[in-house]
Amino acid sequence: MRVFLIVVCFVAYSSAHMCLISPPQRGSMMGINKQGANDCVLTKMSCGGRMATSPSVGVRAGMNFTVTFQKNLDHWVKATPGYFSISMGTDDKGTFKELARINDMGEPSLTLFSRNVTIPDNAIGMSVGVIQVTYVTKNPDAPAVFYQCSDVYVFRD
Distance CA 35, CA 114 (A): 19
pLDDT of residue 122: 72
For residue 19, which of 94, 111, 93, 116 has the smallest C-alpha distance? 111
Helix or strand or coil: residue 39?
helix
What pLDDT shows up at residue 82? 97
Q: Which one, of 76, 81, 82, lies nearest residue 134 by Cα?
A: 82
- Is residue 90 within 8 Å of residue 129, measured between CB atoms? yes
Task: Break the chain into its structural domains and give their ranges.
Answer: 2-155
Question: In terms of C-beta density within 10 A (0-12 exposed, 13-18 middle, 19 or more buried), how is residue 147 classed?
Answer: buried
> Which ranges of the chain does DSSP label H, i.e. alpha helix?
2-14
Percent of the chain with pLDDT over 70: 87
pLDDT for residue 124 is more than 80: no
Residue of 75 and 124 predicted with greater confidence: 75
Residues composing the chain: 157
Q: Which fold has domain 2-155?
A: Coagulation Factor XIII; Chain A, domain 1 (2.70.50)
Using one digit for the tens of pLDDT, what is the confidence trace for 37-92? 988 899 999 899 999 999 989 999 999 999 999 999 999 999 999 999 999 988 77
Q: How many whole angstroms separate alpha carbon 65 and alpha carbon 52?
A: 20
- What letters, b where the CB count within 10 A reaches 16 and e where it falls short, cover 110-144? beebebebebeeebeeeeebbbbbbbbbbbeebbe
